[in-house]
A and B are shown apart, each in its own frame.
Chain A
Amino acid sequence: MGAYIVRRLGQGLLVLLAVSFICFVIFQYMGDPAWALAGRYATPKQLELVRQKLGLDKPFYIQYIIFLKNAIRGNFGMSFVSRLPAMQVILERLPATFELAFMAMLLAVTFGVGLGVLVSVSPNSLFSRLIMAGSLIGISIPTFLTGILLIMIFAVELRWLPPFGRGEVIRIFGGWRSGLLTWDGFKHLILPAFTLSTYQLAVLLRLTRAGMMEVLGEEYIKTAWAKGLPPRSVLFKHALRNALIPVVTMIGLQFGELIAFSIVTETVFQWPGMGNLLLSAIFESDQPVIVSYITFVSLVILSLNLLVDLLYVFINPKIRYA
């Protein structure tokens, strides 16, 4: 187990190195940030000065080594746009993105797995058919469209919920500003969280249903029914536990997707999170912020994947990592 974790951490480190290097290679072909900073009418001399200040005049590999050295110390340079430390700029946006992604994941797992089990029990009932039709649309409608349609219905037409922003936030501990604890902040979270969860919810629902239908046909489930166990016990204790393995795998694989779609959701709802920041950084060629984002997100995805792998051990005791 210990050796397995060490090996996985080593692999993760290699991936991070590769990711940071790829970023740098692409940057070589990107628009010159000196132009963006010095302005369109800057003289060559002014441009040169800006380049020196940013270290852009040094050769590529030296820039990369400097970057790596600084990265280990948690220093990713200053944002070209806001002139603040890039990692700090990213981390300031973390609470907004975390609360959004967390709520979306909670919705997706609760309703995806819950409805998946319900549907598998009576696959031909009207209720199940409606849910399955809904899930088909759920996996066929792009996240940005869901968001815009929800805004059109619940914000513009019915005026029940706010269409954009994060609402009122309060500082809870350290620099963490939460929108979960105020009624206004909660209201702002409903539409974006639902938008971000739709696709994952539909995927998990279909997967749970397929897994449950397969397991429910097994002999040991018939035995459990024959023993006269209550349905709750048969379904959730005996069946779901075994149907859950592909579902957990999928949840693990979907973290990357969740982060990708949080970029989309944040754009649609002008949610002040990391994804929104990334997109503006891309359009402004704000290199340090983009690199910080990629590094941070890679770190999160890699550790979450490791966590999911370890979770298997608890769900299925048959799995042992040598």
Chain B
Amino acid sequence: MHRGRVLRHFLRDPSAVTGAAILLLFVMGAILAPLIAPQNPYDLETLRLADSLKPPIWMEGGERPFLLGTDEQGRDILSTILYGCRTSLTVAFGVVLVAGTFGMVMGLLAGFYGGFIDAIVMRLADVFYSFSTTLMAILVLGLLKQKGVLVLILAISLTDWVRYARTLRGTVLAIKEEDYIDAARALGAPTHRLIFRHVLPNAVPPLLVVAAVDFGVVIMLEATLSFLGVGLPVTEPSLGMMISIGRKYVYAGKWWLIVFPGLALTAIVVGINLVADWLREEINPRIQKAVKGR
């Protein structure tokens, strides 16, 4: 891999750098939330009803330390956003890890061995794909009546692995036709060596694009599910739930309850999509080269 070249391309692309900067900002904010947040919004002892529904600090009635105002229970909006980002990013990492690993195994098996395994995996993939991760997650979580970060990760991964399996299967099928695989096989390389030394390393780049796009999709999905009331329990901070609370005050003009968490949510996903777009363009020529034969 030409690390230096990739880095140079990255630094020359202003939108990729912007995306990465936004992402870094939110990841840092999420990790450091307990240190930098003015308040722990889920520690009930720090909440005072007298502080409820305060506007942002620059508006009349705004108060320190509530920079972006407070919600109906007197929770500081900025702190809740920071803690909510923690949850969003945890769920997204969890899904990419669980669905990514499972999808990779299935895609590898289907692409490398073909036949019966391939038929089963691809039929399953077709069905899950057409039913959409969102629809399945709403139904599964709605029926399970159980809530929590882990349940959410598993419910989303239940159908989300298909993205990874499909992509990896396609790449593996293309790589299998390459001459260097035949050469390795002719030299008597064992199957596991073929898979781990020759197939997987070359199949990773397209998977990175899928993972990046998926990361953004899952963040939106978690927010949506929590907004609908089937995602996280009320005891977990979530951007989607903040907006769902804010919705009750739309007519009362308490816009900060929706606009700030909404802005944070959209900004994270825009950041990810900017990086994903760059990644796709960076990797694409290489795929074309691989297909045309180097």
Contacts and interface: CB of A to CB of B under 8 A. Distances in A.
Contact of A149 (B227, B251, B258): B258
A140 B138 contact: no
Nearest to B15: A136
Contacts of A141: 220, 262, 265-266, 269
A142 B220 contact: yes
Interface in B216-230: 216, 220, 223-224, 227-230
A136 B273 contact: yes
A246 B131 CA distance: 19
Nearest to A29: B144
B243 interface: yes
Interface in B191-227: 216, 220, 223-224, 227
B255 to A, nearest CB: 7
Given A152-B255, A282-B230, A283-B229, A145 B143 contact: no
Nearest to B220: A142
Interface string B247-278: 10011010100100010011001101110010
Interface in B129-182: 129-132, 134-135, 138-140, 142-145
B176 to A, nearest CB: 24
B5 interface: no
Contact of B143 (A23, A143, A256, A305): A23
Contacts of B140: 26
A305 B129 CA distance: 11
B289 interface: no
A139 B273 CA distance: 8
Interface string A133-150: 000110111111100110
Q: By DSSP majority rule, is chain B's interface helix, strand, loop, or mixed? A: helix
A143 B135 contact: no
Contacts of A261: 134
B134 A260 contact: yes
Contact of A136 (B129, B145, B228, B274): B274
B127 interface: yes
A156 B224 contact: no
Given A30-B145, A145-B243, A259 B135 contact: yes
B123 interface: yes
Contact of B250 (A143, A156, A257, A260): A156
A263 B132 contact: no
B270 A256 contact: no
A220 interface: no
Given A144-B223, A145-B258, A260-B135, 9 more contacts: A137-B266, A140-B273, A141-B220, A143-B224, A163-B250, A256-B131, A263-B228, A279-B142, A282-B142
28 contacts: A23-B143, A26-B143, A136-B274, A136-B277, A140-B220, A140-B270, A140-B273, A141-B220, A141-B269, A142-B220, A142-B223, A142-B227, A142-B240, A144-B224, A144-B228, A145-B223, A145-B262, A148-B262, A156-B250, A256-B132, A260-B135, A261-B134, A264-B224, A279-B142, A279-B228, A279-B229, A282-B230, A297-B135
Q: Sort A-B residue pairs by CB-CB distance and give the 6 closest, nearest first.
A: A256-B132, A282-B142, A260-B134, A260-B135, A140-B269, A142-B220
